[in-house]
Amino acid sequence: MSVQTIATQPIEGQKPGTSGLRKKTRVFQGHHYLENFIQSIWNGIGGVAGKTLVLGGDGRHFNAEAAQVVLRMAAASGAAKVIVGQNALLSTPAASNLIRDRGTDGGIILSASHNPGGPDGDFGVKFNTPNGGPAPESVTNKIFEATKTLTEYRIFEAQDVNLSILGASMLGDTEIEVVDPVAEYAKLMERLFDFGAIRALFEGGFRMRFDAMHAVTGPYATAILEDRLGAAPGTVVNGIPLPDFGKGHPDPNPIWAKTLMDEMMGADAPDFGAASDGDGDRNMIVGRGCYVTPSDSLAVLAANATVVPAYAEGLKGVARSMPTSRAVDRVAAHLGIDCYETPTGWKFFGNLLDAGRATLCGEESAGTGSDHVREKDGLWAVLFWLNILAAKGQPVSELMAAHWRDFGRNYYSRHDYEGVDSAAANALMDDLRARLADLPGTEAAGLTVEAADEFAYDDPVDGSRSEGQGLRIDLTGGARIVLRLSGTGTEGATLRVYLERLEADPDKMDADPQEALAPVIAAANHIAGIADRTGRTAPDVIT
Ligand code: VG1
Ligand code: CO
């Protein structure tokens, strides 16, 4: 075994986006591509000599090979130790937990999350800092700078490490410890939630379906829901992680988890349904005949948090990404706690969680989490719901109806236009940005614009400022339109249009969201000229 120093040159476009670097799998498999980025991470964080790292991934195509590269490069740069999930698997929240629990110097997560996998799909690499959270922009900027000046990388010439057997071995002077990916995480969940109450719920005949979408949460969900909590065998479906996710799209929303949705809306539906994404940090919640939007889910968790042992003392505060609906804001106001509004992406919640300013955080894209780790956590959200349902003894639909009666209903939808020509998408945003100041007071589709701006975030903990985080337009009666371009896509541009309207009349809370939002949708098209500029008359995905 020897350390090889390989000459290379900078590769363009290795700029981490909303959640790490995501590219087509074939791009990542290209000459030096992965190696360049990993060496740039090491360089950007001041080297890994003497450090301990966590490593795991969501099991997608190229996960196993990439993990071996990361190990050989960590060893070649003098890392003291790497803690790896068995078979290079770790869900994102489980990795976050290990990074924190073991007091490590951070970790590498191999995942493109909700993006499809396989040789023609996507791959991704993310670096998390010692607090367990995604690297903040100050760190990802240094990594990106390092990619631009790279001239060489170091890698061990060695056999693959056997990652199927638990225990420690050496790669040069670096200790490689292979751990059970589920064990520590399951213990954490047991500490947070009332497992006795949830077990009693299942013993009473409560039926659930959890769709793991052939992604990483299968083993976690089976171990926790079926083995520890006594849910009936078969509760977890598509529970075996596959490199191509069984040709599915591991994005837990009503479109990509349609089989589950159909079952939950059909005759003899189970009491509760849930799904998670590629790397296990997202969640979809659906009751019998009742889909819960992620924004509403965050509000319900906040309103009922004290039934959960870990949050029995109450919440320090809550935070949501800017495009997430403002349902949780009214819960926070009712509880008398702070509510923070951050840019899209979990990295912006880290400081608030570390500083003890927020306990719960959430995003409209099916991400919810708390200060138990520094990532969003799919299975955690599912257990939180189960704990609430066990404590309340109400079906999901009744719980939602009661919540809306108390707080009003924020009708909410996101319209995605995918694979749009990048120049056209940028022109749409640039043009709208230039007109923002003139919009207040104007009318669109019968609604009046009250305010319009481009969101910038001043982090209250470290004072850093993040600009260009989405265009937002407030309309009459608590309606709002937000537009931004995705930072996780790998083909052209994805335009996301977030639509929201508050309904306070209890007699009008049962409408179809697309109908309830029709005027806001029309206003968005009118103001931004979406059809004209993108050539699309309808969104590709509506959630
Ligand atoms: C999307 C979501 C965002 C989420 C991010 C990573 O980003 O909108 O809320 O944090 O994905 O989630 P974007 O830039 O494409 O809108 V995951 O589960 O894909 O790591
Ligand atoms: Co994810």
Work out the angle at residue 56's Cα, subtended by the Cα atoms of residues 53 and 59, and round it to the nearest 5 degrees: 165
> What is the torsional sign of CA 285, 288, 290, 296?
negative
Residues 148 and 108 placed together within one structural domain of the fold: yes
Q: Are residues 314 and 452 in the same domain?
A: no
Tell me which residue of 299, 360, 352 sits closest to 461, measured CA to CA: 352
Q: Is the CB of 18 under 6 A from ligand 1?
A: yes
**Ligand 1 binding pocket includes 249 (Cβ within 6 Å):** no
Ligand 2 midpoint to CA 272 (Å): 22
Q: Are residues 148 and 119 in the same domain?
A: yes
Ligand 1: does its nearest atom lie under 6 Å from the Cβ of 250? no
Do β-strands 360-363 and 21-24 pair in parallel, antiparallel, or remain unpaired? unpaired
Cα three-residue angle 321-476-416, rounded to 5 degrees: 45
Report the nearest-CA residue for atom 20 of ligand 1.
Answer: 113
Q: Tell me which ligand sits closest to the C-alpha of residue 124.
A: 1
Residue whose CA is at the smallest distance from ligand 1 atom 2: 365
Q: Are residues 256 and 386 in the same domain?
A: yes
- Whether residue 71 sits in one domain with residue 157: yes
Total residues found in the chain within this entry:
543
Indicate which residue of 113, 295, 325, 365 is catalytic: 113
Place of tokens 């300013």: 357
- 69 and 118 inside one domain: yes
Query: Which pLDDT score is estimated for 477?
Result: 85
Q: Identify each DSSP E strand in 322-439 by its residue range.
A: 338-342, 360-363, 367-370, 409-420
pLDDT of residue 489: 80
Pocket test for ligand 1, best of 344, 348, 412, 490 (most atoms within 8 A of CB): 344
d(Cα 287, Cα 385) in Å, to the nearest integer? 10
**AA identity, residue 163:** L
Domain match, 376 and 231 both = yes
Residues 348 and 233 in one domain: yes
Find the 276 Cα to ligand 2 centroid distance in Å: 8
CA of 478 to the centre of ligand 2 (A): 30
230 contacts 343 by C-beta, under 8 angstroms: no
Ligand 1 atom closest to Cα of residue 489: 15
Cβ 193 under 6 angstroms from ligand 1: no
Residue finishing a domain among 134, 164, 181: 181
Chain centroid to Cα 156, Å, comes to 33
Cα–Cα distance, 125 to 119 (Å, whole number): 16
Q: Which atom of ligand 1 is nearest to the CA of 281?
A: 18
pLDDT at 311: 98
Residue among 15, 18, 376 to mutate when testing ligand 1 (max atoms within 8 A of CB): 18
Containing structural domain, residue 264 = 185-407
* Helix/strand/coil for 296: helix
**How far, CA to CA in Å, does 205 sit from each of 200, 231, 267, 268, 274?**
9, 9, 17, 13, 17
The whole-model pTM stands at 0.95
Helices (H), 246-310: 258-265, 294-304
8 Å CB contact between 147 and 55: no
In 18-124, which residue ranges form alpha helices assigned H by DSSP?
25-28, 33-44, 63-76, 92-101
* Ligand showing the shortest atom-to-Cα distance for residue 125: 1
The span from the CA of 380 to the CA of 193, in Å, is: 9
Alpha-carbon Rg for the chain, nearest whole angstrom, is 23
Residues 369 and 346 both lie in one domain: yes
Starting from the CA of residue 543, give the closest ligand: 1
Tokens 């959630």 label which residue?
Answer: 543
Q: HSE on the CB side for 312, CA within 13 Å? A: 9
Instruction: Encode pLDDT of 204-235 as tens digits.
Output: 999 999 999 999 999 999 999 999 999 999 99
**For residue range 247-294, what is the model confidence (pLDDT) as tens digits?**
889 999 998 999 999 999 999 999 999 999 999 999 999 999 999 999
CATH code of the domain containing 447: 3.30.310.50
Nearest CA to ligand 1 atom 5: 345
Note the Cα 34 to chain centre separation in Å.
23
Measured between alpha carbons, how far is residue 25 from residues 9, 17, 118, 255 in Å? 20, 16, 7, 24
| Low-confidence spans in the chain with pLDDT less than 70 | 1
Answer yes or no: is the C-beta of 91 below 6 A from any ligand 1 atom.
no
Measured from the Cβ of residue 69, the count of other Cβ atoms closer than 10 Å reads: 16
The DSSP call for residue 232 is P
CA of 200 to the centre of ligand 2 (A): 31
Nearest CA to ligand 1 atom 17: 113
Clarify whether 276 is annotated catalytic: no
CA gap 416, 496 in Å, rounded: 5
Closest listed ligand to the CA of 295: 1
Q: Which long-range contacts (CB under 8 A, 24 or more apart) does 429-434 make?
A: 429/471, 429/483, 429/484, 429/485, 431/529, 431/533, 432/471, 432/483, 432/527, 432/528, 433/471
- Select from 364, 88, 403 the least CA-distant residue to 253: 364
Segment (H or E) for 167 = strand 167-171
Residue 278 and residue 161 in one domain: no
Asked if 66 and 110 count as a contact pair (C-beta separation under 8 A), the reply is: yes
User: Could you give the angle at the alpha carbon of 247 between the alpha carbons of 246 and 253, nearest 5°?
Assistant: 90
- Residue with tokens 């989490």, as numbered in its chain: 369
CATH number of the domain enclosing 101: 3.40.120.10
User: How do 471-475 and 479-485 pair as beta strands?
Assistant: antiparallel
Q: Domain tally for the chain?
A: 3
**In a shared domain, residues 440 and 367:** no
Q: Which of 365, 373, 416 to mutate to test the pocket of ligand 1 (most atoms within 8 A of CB)?
A: 365
Which of 374, 407, 440 corresponds to the end of one domain?
A: 407
Ligand 1 pocket, 344 CB below 6 A? yes
Q: Which residue has the tokens 């110097």?
A: 105
What's the gap in Å between 282 CA and the centre of ligand 1?
Answer: 10
Cα 16 to the center of its chain, rounded Å: 15
Q: What is the pLDDT of residue 74?
A: 98
Q: Tell me the two tokens of residue 304.
A: 């009922």
Residues 108 and 118 both lie in one domain: yes
DSSP output for 168-182: EEEETTEEEEEE-TT
How far is ligand 2, taken at its centre, from the CA of residue 114, in Å? 5
| 347 touches ligand 1 (CB under 6 Å) | no
Please name the residue whose Cα sits nearest to atom 6 of ligand 1. 19
What pLDDT, on a 0 to 100 scale, did the predictor assign at position 492?
Answer: 87
For residue 213, the ligand closest to its alpha carbon is 2
- 242 and 214 Cβ atoms separated by less than 8 Å: yes
Instruction: State if residue 124 touches ligand 1 by the CB under 6 angstroms criterion.
Output: no
Task: Single out the residue of 383, 346, 372, 404 nearest to residue 220, CA to CA.
Answer: 383
Q: Which of 152, 181, 210 is the last residue of a domain?
A: 181
Ligand 1 atom nearest 365 alpha carbon: 9
Q: Whose CA is nearest to atom 3 of ligand 1?
A: 345
Q: What are phi and psi of 394, to 5 degrees?
A: -115, 150
Q: Give residue 466's pLDDT.
A: 93
- Nearest atom in ligand 1 to 17's CA: 14
Ligand 1 contacts CB of residue 114 (under 6 A): yes
Closest CA to ligand 1's atom 18: 113
Distance 376 CA to ligand 2 centre (A): 8
Whether the CB of 345 sits within 6 Å of ligand 1: yes
Q: Which residues contact 261 (CB under 8 A, 6 or more apart)?
A: 254, 273, 286, 291
